[in-house]
Each structure stands twice: as C-alpha cells, then as structure tokens.
Chains A and B, each alone.
Chain A
Amino acid sequence: DQQVKQNSPSLSVQEGRISILNCDYTNSMFDYFLWYKKYPAEGPTFLISISSIKDKNEDGRFTVFLNKSAKHLSLHIVPSQPGDSAVYFCAASATRSGGSNYKLTFGKGTLLTVNP
C-alpha cells in the first residue's frame, strides 16, 4: 500500500518557466512533509519542508503548498534552471505517532528535466 504517491514519473519544462511537482498521500496521520532532490550517483539533498499547521512555505525559488483536505502537496520552482534537473522525492512523517515518528515515507520520485 503506497502511502505517498508521486503520479508523474517525469516532467519536462523550459528554463525560466515554473516547475510544479505533485505529491498525494493517504495516511491521515502524516503531519510533516519534506521534499528532497537527488542527482545521479549522489545521496538525496533536503530542499524544503512544511508542517501541517501551515499551508505554504517558501525558500527562495522553492515553495511548497499543502492542501490537507485533499491530502495533496506540491513543490513549485520559479524560475526553473537547468541545474534543477534531478529526481525529486516527496516524503512524509507522522510526528505524533510514537515509535513511528522517526520514519519518513518516500514517494517514488519525479524526474525533472529543465531544458535550456
């Protein structure tokens, strides 16, 4: 049972335009969400996170939006740059779930390609 879903395996955008990466979750206990970026042959790098008490968090070119009622979050990258080309993973945590609060549940990832 996949609790965190990234339904688009890939996304291609033009440099300078907006990239929107989507993520859906099914576990209503999830209350903390993170995005990671991963280049080939490297470990994932933390990008940005959001707690369920917020609906938006912004850090430079990256903004994460959370819609709790729809169990949906999205990562917006504006403007997109060729160096943003990577696999993006969405992850979720149930921070008030006792022993499970250490765990992150990851989606399968979306490959973003930003074309010059």
Chain B
Amino acid sequence: DVKVTQSSRYLVKRTGEKVFLECVQDMDHENMFWYRQDPGLGLRLIYFSYDVKMKEKGDIPEGYSVSREKKERFSLILESASTNQTSMYLCASRRRLPYEQYFGPGTRLTVT
C-alpha cells in the first residue's frame, strides 16, 4: 500500500512565523503535490514537483515556497504565516503513470 505521511495533523502558529510542513512518501513516486482544502473551494494546487529539485507553481502559489531535496520528501514553507493561510493542507504523490494521486492525512494549520 502507498503511504504518504505528513509531519503534523494539527498545527497552531502565530502571524509572521515561518512554518514548515513536511511530507514523506515511501513508494518511490516521482511526482509530489501540495494542496490546500477550504470549505466551498475544494482542493486547490499550491505547488508540485515532478522530480527531485524540480518544482512548478500550481494555481495558488503566492505566500508559499517548496523544497524537494530527496525523492521521498516534499516540504511546503510558509515564509511569513498569515491568517488567510489557515487551512487544511494535503500532500499527495504519484508515479508518472497511472495518474492517480495518493494523499496523506492532511495538516490542519491555524494561524492566529
């Protein structure tokens, strides 16, 4: 079974703090993704990485950066957290083919 793990299930941070969200997959998947899920907005893609050290902006990259130094690990960074970044953050991974993405359990981030 594919396993995607995220470093925290719940996180509370203050405005202006630097926040790191870590994601690890154990299935040697090439592609990894970061989404946020908000009520009424569905899942929106923040960034994705199609290979180690490669990254591309998704639909809502503003205020975020990412790092992928190793194949199994993909980090999402909030340089200066703001209250509008309070959300559920979901990491996913997949092989190049097939196209199904496998998701981690999510991190509920609250910025106060």
Q: Which residues of A are at the interface with B, using a C-beta cutoff of 8 A? A: 9, 32, 34, 36, 41-46, 49, 89, 91, 93, 95, 99, 102-104, 106-109
User: When the two chains form the complex, which single residue of A43, A103, A108 contacts B4, counting CB atoms closer than 8 Å?
Assistant: A43
Across the two chains, which residue of chain A brings its CB closest to B58?
Answer: A103
Q: Which A residues are CB-close (under 8 A) to B50?
A: 102
Residue contact B101 to A104, C-beta cutoff 8 Å: yes
Q: Which A residues are CB-close (under 8 A) to B56?
A: 99, 102
Residue contact A108 to B42, C-beta cutoff 8 Å: yes
User: When the two chains form the complex, which single residue of A45, A102, A106, A109 contacts B48, counting CB atoms closer than 8 Å?
Assistant: A102
Q: Is the interface of B mostly helix, strand, loop or mixed?
A: strand
Measured in the bound complex, the distance between the Cα atoms of B88 and A41 in whole Å is 9
Residue contact B31 to A102, C-beta cutoff 8 Å: yes
Measured in the bound complex, the distance between the Cα atoms of B43 and A46 in whole Å is 14
Interface size range on B against A: 20 to 34
Measured in the bound complex, the distance between the Cα atoms of B57 and A99 in whole Å is 11
Interface presence of B100 (CB below 8 A): yes
* Given known A43-B90, A102-B50, A103-B58, contact A109–B42 (CB-CB < 8 A): yes
User: When the two chains form the complex, which single residue of B42, B48, B102, B106 contacts A107, counting CB atoms closer than 8 Å?
Assistant: B42
* Given known A42-B105, A102-B50, contact A108–B41 (CB-CB < 8 A): yes
Interface presence of B13 (CB below 8 A): no
Residue contact A44 to B43, C-beta cutoff 8 Å: yes
Residue contact B98 to A41, C-beta cutoff 8 Å: no
Residue contact B48 to A103, C-beta cutoff 8 Å: yes
Across the two chains, which residue of chain A brings its CB closest to B10?
Answer: A41
* Given known A102-B31, A103-B58, contact A46–B45 (CB-CB < 8 A): no
The contact string, 1 if C-beta is below 8 Å from chain A, for chain B 55-68, is 01010000000000
User: How distant is A64 from chain B, measured CB to nearest CB, in Å?
Assistant: 13
Q: Which A residues are CB-close (under 8 A) to B105?
A: 41-43
